[in-house]
Structures are given as structure tokens and as C-alpha cells.
Amino acid sequence: MNSNDYLGDPIEHIDIKTHDLASLIEAMSKMSFQARNLANAASIYQQMLADRSCCIMLTLAGSLFSAGLKQVVIDMINFNMVDVIISTGANIVDQDFFEAIGFRHYKGNPYLDDEELRAAQLDRIYDTLIREDELRICDKAIQEIADSLGSGIYSSRQFIAAMGEWLTTRSNRVESVVETAYKKNVPIFVPAFSDCSAGFGLVSHQHKRPDSHVAIDSVKDFRELTRIKINCRRTGLLMIGGGAPKNFAQDTVVAAELIGEETEMHRYSIQITVADERDGALSGSTLKEAHSWGKVNKASEQMVYCEATIAMPLLVNSAYHSKCWQERLAKQLATTF
């Protein structure tokens, strides 16, 4: 079998604007278990949106955009429902930017023969498929962008902004988080930027230009994000998954204190995760635990133990149809730098 035999049914991104489920989430508040937790999280998110002085930080970990959640984040940016994004590289580069240059993810299933997929040059993300040769084109696009920049040290935010600008010059591009954020001045940070197609493209770039090249400085990322926290003071976290993006965002409180700047703990915090806290790992650590580190205020926090493709559309849908975002102004935090 060749690759086309597997790729008949592309992933479609869910559009929260076309379905009003706010009343369903309200009804879930009268239930138990994760239904009530999700409804409480939706209430906290709406409090963030109604609090005009609150800067909303969205963290993204896990394979989210390949699974159909890209449009949710695009809508959040367009309707001023998020002010800064901290993500894994896979979501931003291998999935969002990848689709922005014209490629797709496809429906598969977890029981396909992986040896056959390897022979057909298809990569599997649980029940989703992606073409390896198209990923290589994505890698090359990253190298092309790096080659176009002056040599020096960049934050991932700066490089992702360059990706957004590059996309605006392409006539055949598809709507994306990267370009939408660039146009709306919503900064995107990827603390482990090389852990994705960006890494492959930058390795090729630095190999070709060993003495004059672009380098990504994660400490510069941390400094810039900490500066956002200091300037905004009041912040809310909406964390999808865990990992480095979660810790990166939470740690800005501690970093601010270490450099002698006064700021408060993140006032609001939500985490949607399926990770377990019992192994002590970060992704499953609770927000109450984060309070012991002085990172989040425990007065307005909610853990939701649910898979992101279920919980995130419901939570954002409820906020969108509540219209609590309509008076909220864009903070345009990318202009800070």
C-alpha cells in the first residue's frame, strides 16, 4: 500500500462558534466528578475574561492541533480571549505551521500496522496520520526563515514572530495560530523550541552556517515572559496538558521575586490534564501543590481530569457564548519588546 491509501479522511478543526453549549456546561455544574470540575473551570475562565486587568496565559502541551483544536485557539486570539501563549514546539511548528503551508493531518486508527506505515513514510500520532515527506518540507521552511534572519541570539518568541511574518508573504497559506497571533500581537513562547521540526530546520541552518547563524535562547524566553508577568501583575493561567509550558508559565512568579520585582501569584488557574499526581511528575502535579511554591493563588483554581479534545472545546465554547469577552481589549503584549 502507498501513503494515499491511508489518507482519505482529513482531520477537521472544531468550530466553537457554531455550537452554543453554555447551558450544557451550566447544567454540568449540578453534577459530580469531572462534569462539575469542568463547569467550575468554565466559571473561573469567565472570571478571567471579565477581569479587565487580568492577563490570560494559555499553555499548550500534548498533540492538540493535529487532533482538531487549532480553530479553538485561533478564535481565542481573534476574540481577545488570550494574551500570551506558551506551547510545545510540536503544536506550533509540526502541526499549526505545517498546516499553514498547506498540509493536513488525517484520520487513522491506533491498530494500523506501523511497519506498513513506516514503509509508506507515514507517521502516526495515536489515531492520526501525517506524511513524513511533508514534515521535511516544514523543516526546510524553518531553515529558510532562519537563513533570512541576521545571525544572533533570538528568543523563540522572536523567531515565531518571524514565522508569522513569513506566512503573510505566501498566497497559498491556510489560517493558522502563528499568523493570527503575529497579526494580533499575541506573543508565542516555546521553551523547548528545538524539540520539533524547528530543531531539524535549525540544525540544518547551523550546519550550513557554522560561524554565522541564528541561535535560540530559552533563558531570553524566560526573561521576556517574566517581564510580561511583572508588567501585567494580575494573571490567569489556562493550562492544557502539563510539561514545560506549564512550569514555564508558573515559574514567572518566582523569577520576578528573584530579580527583586514585586508581583503577585497567578490569581486564577485552570489545568486540563489526564496525568496522575502520584508519581510526583510536573504534568500531574496539582494547582494546590503549586500554591506551596508560591506560584498560584488557591482561591481560584481548578484541576479538570479530562482529555483535552473533550474539555477544551466545551470550556472555551461556554466562555465564547457567554459573551463575557466582548468588552475585553487586546493587550498586544508582543509590542512590549
Active site residues: 295
Calpha distance 212→147 (Å, rounded) = 10
Calpha distance 253→296 (Å, rounded) = 8
Q: Rg of the Cα trace of the chain?
A: 20
Q: Which residues are CB-contacts of 135 (< 8 A; sequence separation ≥ 6)?
A: 94, 98, 123, 197
Contact present, 54 and 231 (Cβ < 8 Å): no
Q: In 13-69, which residue ranges form alpha helices assigned H by DSSP? A: 22-28, 33-50
- Residue 330 DSSP one-character state: P
Query: Cell numbers at residue 2, please?
Result: 502507498
Instruction: Give me the amino acid identity at 239.
Output: M
Distance (Å) of CA 159 to CA 25, 36, 49, 146, 210: 38, 40, 28, 8, 19
Q: Which residues are CB-contacts of 71 (< 8 A; sequence separation ≥ 6)?
A: 13, 14, 15, 16, 175
**Where are any strands of DSSP class E within 96-241?**
106-107, 122-125, 128-131, 152-154, 188-189, 214-216, 235-240
Calpha distance 232→319 (Å, rounded) = 22
Return the bridge partners of 240, or none: 60, 272
Query: Cell numbers at residue 98, please?
Result: 505545517
Report which of 268, 234, 250 is spatially closest to residue 46, judged by C-alpha positions.
Answer: 268
Q: Checking phi first, is residue 100 left (phi over 0); if not, alpha (psi -120 to 50) or beta?
A: alpha
